[in-house]
Structure 1
Amino acid sequence: MHPGFVRAPELLPTPRAADLPADRLSGKRCVWCGKPATNDLSARVSVVKGELLRWEPRSCSYCLCREAKRVYNIHIRTCARCTHRDYCPDSRALYELGFPK
């Protein structure tokens, strides 16, 4: 994949849409903790109550960083393209999101 196409927030898994209250589904509140949302995670498509739903999850900065770190640590242990010297574009994007300078 071309590094310019990698968008780290799209790599983060979100809670099941069917289990979320309306304010988290609408993007007004963080999808993980319910605090005011400041970061876009990109549109998602989920099945809720038997119907296809397009929703736009958002997160607070703390949860975004925490989840990016968690996913990055899983990714570098399981990605066949990542080695201890060279990391794939996905891992680099997750690292930049989870470990800001």
Structure 2
Amino acid sequence: MPSDTAGTQPALAVLPLPELGSLTQDQARGATCVWDGTRLTGETAVDLGPRRDDDGVWFPRACRPCAQGQAMDALIQHSGACEQCVDDHNRCPEGSTLVRAVREARR
């Protein structure tokens, strides 16, 4: 998880994304979901936070079902391997961020 996104970015900015080069132009510019290609509107899009690559900054977006599923998958994967999260996810910065990501995706 990128440490520079935890404080100022949405929690969803920590989710891993497909490689930029594998996305269509619409996915790369946020017109469609980065995961399933669903057409997005201002009401249906979930902002995944700015991402940096060799060519600069891009602004991926997703549909709510994909964002929530990816956030939940990341939380399950992390918490299954994190001793702190087994006891209390509030003691783990990554676990807490992923819990926030799940909540942000629901909004």
**1:46 equivalenced with 2:48 (yes/no):** no
Please report how far the alpha carbon of residue 96 of structure 1 lies from its aligned counterpart in structure 2 after TM superposition: 4.1
Letter in 2 for 1:58: R
Matched, 1:84 2:86: yes
If you compute each CA radius of gyration, which structure gives the higher value, 1 or 2?
1
| Higher mean C-alpha deviation, range 5-14 or range 17-26 | 5-14
Following superposition, the deviation at residue 73 of structure 1 comes to 0.8
Distance 1:7 1:90 in 2: 13
2:80 and 2:86 in contact (8 A); partners too: no
Q: C-alpha distance in 2, partners of 1:96/1:53? A: 27
Match 2:39 to one of 14, 36, 46: 36
Task: Answer yes or no: is 1:71 the counterpart of 2:78.
Answer: no
Aligned to 1:97: 101
Residues paired across the two proteins, number: 94
Structure 1 ranges of 4+ moved more than 4 A: none
How large is the Cα RMSD of the aligned pairs?
2.4
**Equivalent pair of 1:8/1:90 in contact (CA under 8 Å):** no
**Hey, what's the Cα distance between the residues in 2 that align with 1:29 and 1:62?**
13
Q: Which runs of 5+ in 1 are unaligned?
A: none
- How many angstroms apart in 2 are the aligned matches of 1:44 and 1:11? 10
* TM-score normalized by the length of structure 1: 0.77
Structure 1 or 2: larger helix share?
Answer: 2
Per the normalisation by structure 2, the TM-score is 0.73
Tell me, yes or no, if the aligned pair for 2:78 and 2:95 is still in contact at 8 Å.
yes
Identify if the C-alpha distance between structure 1 residues 46 and 10 changes in structure 2 by more than 3 Å, giving closer, same or farther.
Answer: same
